[in-house]
Structure 1
């Protein structure tokens, strides 16, 4: 069965970012560097950059990321957010608290007009997130 997974691009912060996301979501993190694949970068100083990282959380989230060597064009992610939603308020609050640490809250994690809870933030690595607690059926 196909899956849809966010793949985050960084200039040189993929290792720090993916390790941070592991501290937020838990799970298993694998990191492959350019050094593991001969001839993948021009600059030997960039061999330890992340060619591919994958975090698989206990909930089944799959988040991927990579660095972009200096010889390739790079634009910081814009116009897209990673969204995490569900019914487990304690888990979502925990994700919110950890992701917002060192980041910028755009909209506090609070009760919106449609019910439940919702918030938006940009984390310390410049990635935009939306966290949403589903509204209870009684509130609809």
Structure 2
């Protein structure tokens, strides 16, 4: 079993996924517009430039998403955060700064009892992110 986050956008899905691919060092995302649907005119003429399905390969998991169809309201959010575990402090700092550019930091990147580096933000596309370079379980009590 695997769990893959799915994100909704209101017309900025392609831009967001291109940015996420660049920030996370992933291959270009796979994008399917509503106009490319096998069902033909899926979503009507107002949906032609919107993304029906986006898929970003991140190795052990995928990040997926889409633009909501025209006329469907985008729920206020984020309702959930994408938690991104990284391997070192430099990677945590770089990714956090890139995602925070134009967004809103909810918790600044800092050392915690459970992480060498941890921070929370909502990016410029409205997606919530947690960036974490975790401590080993035995290392938690020695956190500074």
**Is the shorter-chain TM-score for this pair beyond 0.5, marking a shared fold?**
yes
The answer for the alignment partner of 2:43 in structure 1 is 41
User: SS state of the match for residue 21, structure 2?
Assistant: helix
How far the C-alpha of 1:21 sits from its partner, in A, is: 0.6
CA deviations over 1:30-76 (Å, ceiling 9, x no partner): 1000111113112x13212100011113x434111100112334313
Residues 51 and 66, structure 1, Cα contact 8 Å, conserved in 2: yes
How far the C-alpha of 1:115 sits from its partner, in A, is: 4.5
The answer for the alignment partner of 1:87 in structure 2 is 87
The answer for the alignment partner of 2:125 in structure 1 is 125
The answer for the alignment partner of 1:32 in structure 2 is 32
Residues 9 and 77, structure 1, Cα contact 8 Å, conserved in 2: no
The answer for the alignment partner of 1:76 in structure 2 is 76
The answer for the alignment partner of 1:112 in structure 2 is 112
The answer for the alignment partner of 1:51 in structure 2 is 52
Measured in 1, the distance between the counterparts of 2:135 and 2:26 equals 27
Q: Where do 5+ consecutive residues of structure 1 fail to align? A: none
> Which stretches of structure 1, 4 residues or more, deviate above 3 A after TM superposition?
136-140
Q: Which shows bigger deviation, 114-123 or 25-34?
A: 114-123
Cα 1:93–1:61 change in 2 (3 A) is farther
**Structure 1 residues 12-23: aligned runs within 5 Å:** 12-23=11-22
TM-score, structure 2 as length reference:
0.84
